[in-house]
Amino acid sequence: MADNFRITLAQLNPTVGDIAGNAAKARSAWEQGRAAGADLVALPEMFITGYNTQDLVQKPAFHAAAMDAVRQLAADCADGPAMAIGGPWVEDGKLYNAYLILDQGRIVSKVFKHHLPNETVFDEVRLFDAGPLGGPYAVGNTRIGSPICEDGWHEDVAETLAETGAEFLLIPNGSPYFRDKYDVRLNQMVARVVETGLPVIYLNMVGGQDDQVFDGGSFGLNPGGALAFRMPVFDETVAQVDLRRGEQGWTIAPGAVAEQPDAWEQDYRAMVQALRDYMAKTGFSKALLGLSGGVDSALVATIAVDALGAENVRCVMLPSEYTSAASLEDAEAVAKALGVRYDYVPIGQSRAAVTETLAPLFAGRPADITEENIQSRLRGLLLMAISNKFGEMLLTTGNKSEVAVGYATIYGDMNGGYNPIKDLYKTRVFETCRWRNANHRDWMKGPAGEVIRPSVIDKPPSAELREDQKDSDSLPDYPVLDGILEILVDRDGSIADCVAAGFDEADARRVEHLIYISEYKRFQSAPGTRLTNRAFWLDRRYPIVNRWRDRG
């Protein structure tokens, strides 16, 4: 029996629906594996279709095309190493999330996912049939167990594979990022190693898909739980992993251990990668946004430049009579620091025209939030006009605190195709700006150094829709608001939990009310990067009509 086994791990970025493009990526990885003398080239879960496909995978023409592509890959990659690739598979009228082993021109083994996740962003119970608990597959005379993603988080699948002869575990994943996810994965995989006594190779994909971003960070653990290698987070990487057989079985040869960035860097990288891929995969190369002089739009502008390059970002200042001189100066300073195109489009004349048009209808009624929203909607109208005329995607700039309580104008500043900071609370927005000013990485296309000057970060937040307006006029101060939101949204807690944490009950009830009445706005909002496991979209699905309130 062979005492060495080489796996080419392809931590790559597929595109949902681009079956031909994904197959080409797989073929390129296989060619690299063949050149390196690999025994097996491994790709992540559902790689041939991209992931997360949602209901698209149920379309017969779609999954049939994916299956045909896998068969063609088997034929094309006959003369060289085996390939393991994820994709949908139909057998006996049932649709499975499968891991398919290709060798010598044909599909020689199929693994069907047993535990189908049905939480947070996953709906696999309604999409796929559950496969049986099965045994390992053979590549040459080596027997490999491949629990598919969620199956790796359940001891029964790994133990069954170990009991039926698996010599090591290769776990293909489509595991999306949320803050500190690596620690969760590592703990689960250590448990599988301890339970089975087998080495574990955890292979994850990278890249953005709608709100989700897959962060890679593939790794290997030897018996006892020692880390053998770790691949970079977020980067497409093809690496050779060697296993050696000794008296005690297989071990993974020591390899490179990539640095694990802290949560601030990973959040920022996730926002950059998600926007970069969302733009590229939807066919956009240029973006624009309204730059107000505030901290949120400054951060989105910086993310956009780091994702796309300054030459592909347009910032627009749309001042009214309530826009302060300080905001004008701050917005221009951010634009200059980033090196973007900066356009100045006052809304005064447009606002006067709308006011005059509505004057007969509004006669005798005092000015209120209606007039404030007209300003926001005029800005949205003008920004969408620029987007249409120049083919640039409009980015929206509301943070999670504002999205949670509806502190945004629908059809106004909520206009846009994507929102990078949708899952970032306001208090984290401030700190993220400071982090970016102090840090620069090779994957950032923007300039190093201070790009968001301190006056942008430190001034009291304001929508500037009326004289001397401050956000704190309408909302609790952001540290209080975010603390309550973290309990009610992220932890799914109660009013009593908020009070126990030291928050005023009246504030908590007011925030809860705002969360519920703003559901209709979130329903119509742009997608945005998922940074937590309680992001507003697939993680948290509430009815729009909802009269329940926590009376406890």
Whether the pLDDT of residue 463 is over 90: the answer is no
Give the separation between CA 268 and CA 529, rounded to whole angstroms.
Answer: 10
Residue linked to tokens 């309550």: 484
What pLDDT is attached to residue 1? Answer: 57
What pLDDT is attached to residue 247? Answer: 87
What pLDDT is attached to residue 99? Answer: 98
Whether the pLDDT of residue 2 is over 80: the answer is no
Give the separation between CA 315 and CA 456, rounded to whole angstroms.
Answer: 16
Stretch 284-300: mean pLDDT, rounded? Answer: 96
Q: Establish whether 291 is an annotated binding residue.
A: yes
Q: Which of 40-44, 168-172, 305-309, 408-412 has the weakest average pLDDT?
A: 408-412
Stretch 69-94: mean pLDDT, rounded? Answer: 97
SS3 165: coil
Q: Establish whether 316 is an annotated binding residue.
A: no
Q: Establish whether 52 is an annotated binding residue.
A: no
Cα dihedral: 271, 277, 280, 281 (round 10): -130
Q: Which of 92-96, 219-223, 267-271, 537-541 has the weakest average pLDDT?
A: 537-541
Q: Establish whether 135 is an annotated binding residue.
A: no
Q: Establish whether 292 is an annotated binding residue.
A: yes
The DSSP bridge pattern shows strands 212-215 and 206-209 to be antiparallel
Q: Establish whether 397 is an annotated binding residue.
A: yes
Span 4-252 CATH architecture: 4-Layer Sandwich (3.60)
Range(s) within the chain of domains with CATH label 3.60.110.10: 4-252
Residues labelled as active-site residues: 45, 113, 149
Q: What is the pLDDT of residues 484-536, one digit of tens each?
A: 999 999 999 999 999 999 999 999 999 999 999 999 999 999 999 999 999 99
Span 264-471 CATH architecture: 3-Layer(aba) Sandwich (3.40)
SS3 150: helix
Q: Establish whether 33 is an annotated binding residue.
A: no
Q: Which of 445-449, 469-473, 510-514, 532-536 has the weakest average pLDDT?
A: 469-473
Stretch 349-367: mean pLDDT, rounded? Answer: 94
HSE, CB side, 13 Å, CA atoms: give it for residue 266: 24
Range(s) within the chain of domains with CATH label 3.40.50.620: 264-471
Q: Establish whether 220 is an annotated binding residue.
A: no
What pLDDT is attached to residue 215? Answer: 97
Q: Indicate the pTM of the whole model.
A: 0.95
What pLDDT is attached to residue 475? Answer: 86
Predicted confidence band of residue 430 (pLDDT cuts 50, 70, 90): very high
Residue linked to tokens 């300003």: 375
Percent of the chain at pLDDT exceeding 70? 99
